[in-house]
Amino acid sequence: MKIDIRNIRREYLRGGLARKNLSDNPFIQFQKWLEEAIDANVNEPTAVIVGTVSEDGKPSTRCVLLKELRDDKFVFYTNYESRKGKQLTGSPYISLTFLWHELERQVHVEGIATKVPPEVSDDYYKTRPYKSRIGARISPQSRPISGRMKIMLAFIRESIRLAGKEVKRPENWGGYAVTPTRIEFWQGRESRLHDRFLYTLQNDQSWKIERLAP
Ligand SMILES: Cc1cc2nc3c(=O)[nH]c(=O)nc-3n(C[C@H](O)[C@H](O)[C@H](O)COP(=O)(O)O)c2cc1C
């Protein structure tokens, strides 16, 4: 590589995270941080890296957009027949990583993903822009296609076919709700001595809170 990237680094100096300032409830804490990220105009505040595992235990990740915090679950939408969808059918274990660079913050969630009820997916689908609704109907997400023209033609054909009609949610597209068992809040600090607090779900459904070494 022509550029020496070893010296690309910066100090994280925005502030710290103290136990006394954390909510006992990780969902309240998460909402507070998400709202702060939105208020700070961070780029794509709802973007989250989703980790899934294949049948033979190999991890894979990709970015999606968080769309809801529903009943203490993190909800995102995708194609159920996509690579991630197939992996979640095989194993429901999932991780979510939110990274808010501008605030020097990260939240890492681990838990179990389940499909949301169809009517919940319907409700969200209806709020999507018209073209996104058409796109969800015609894209065989994650499968090889011969070229961009193929998908553009399918998009145009479907738009014409459904002109003036209701654009219904396809059954292979919908939401996953992630029920967390671990949620970690990370705040960057000077000299890489970051603040980390881990919430772990206990058998009695309470959350244990521990500070982790950076
Ligand atoms: C910022 C951003 C947001 C995205 N949001 C979504 C989303 O909400 N749902 C989705 O299915 N894909 C979304 N994608 C595309 C995914 O990263 C990914 O390419 C797609 O879901 C297929 O992943 P898979 O083949 O691992 O299943 C997004 C990508 C980016 C960069």
Catalytic positions are 192
Report the pocket of ligand 1 as residue ranges, CB < 6 Å. 44, 47, 62-65, 76-79, 82-84, 141-142
Share of the chain above pLDDT 90, in %: 99
Three-state SS for 176?
strand
Q: Is residue 137 part of a domain?
A: no
Q: Say whether 175 sits in a helix, a strand or coil.
A: strand
Q: Which residue, by CA, sits nearest to atom 12 of ligand 1?
A: 64
- Looking at the structure of the chain, the number of domains it has is 1
Flag whether 3 is in a domain. no
Closest protein CA for atom 10 of ligand 1: 78
DSSP characters for 50-77? EEEE-TTS-EEEEEEEEEEEETTEEEEE
Domain assignment present for 153: no
Q: Which domain holds residue 26?
A: 9-128+171-212
Domain annotation covers residue 29:
yes
Domain contains 148 = no
**pLDDT tens digits, residue range 140-159?**
999 999 999 999 999 999 99
Say yes or no to pLDDT of 1 above 90.
no
Domain CATH for 194:
2.30.110.10
**For residue 34, what pLDDT is reported?**
98
Q: Give the model confidence (pLDDT) of 65-99 as tens digits.
A: 999 999 999 999 999 999 999 999 999 999 999 99
Is-contact 16 104, C-beta < 8 A?
Answer: no
Residue 157 lies in a domain: no
Q: Is residue 119 assigned to a domain?
A: yes
